[in-house]
Amino acid sequence: MESLQWLRLGVNKMSGEIPEELSKTSARLHHMTMDQNDFEGNLYPFKDHKFVNFLPQNNPKLCGMVPLGVRYAHGFNYYNTQLGLPCPEEVGKAE
């Protein structure tokens, strides 16, 4: 997966957390679509990425802080997500 440049997961009815294995794609993965699915959790696996394009919208269970390499990617749109807000498990820890 180290040479992967494009990853199109959009509009596939996928669910669950983003696999930690995707963190190993940071060297070349520059374009990713994951819109209109049901992913949940945070974008931590992408903390070392520098995306050119990244589309996370319409994943209502995505939450947490947005890594800089994702936030400033072209097309970044957090519509219908909880990105930027604490994830439920983080809220429970604060109490």
Q: Convert the pLDDT of each residue in 49-85 to its tens digit.
A: 999 999 999 999 999 999 999 999 999 999 999 999 9
pTM: 0.87
Contacts of 23 (CB under 8 A, 6+ apart): 45, 46, 47, 48
Q: How far is CA 77 from CA 4, 20, 24, 30, 89, in A?
A: 23, 22, 24, 16, 23
Contact 62, 45 (CB under 8 A): no
pLDDT of residue 92: 64
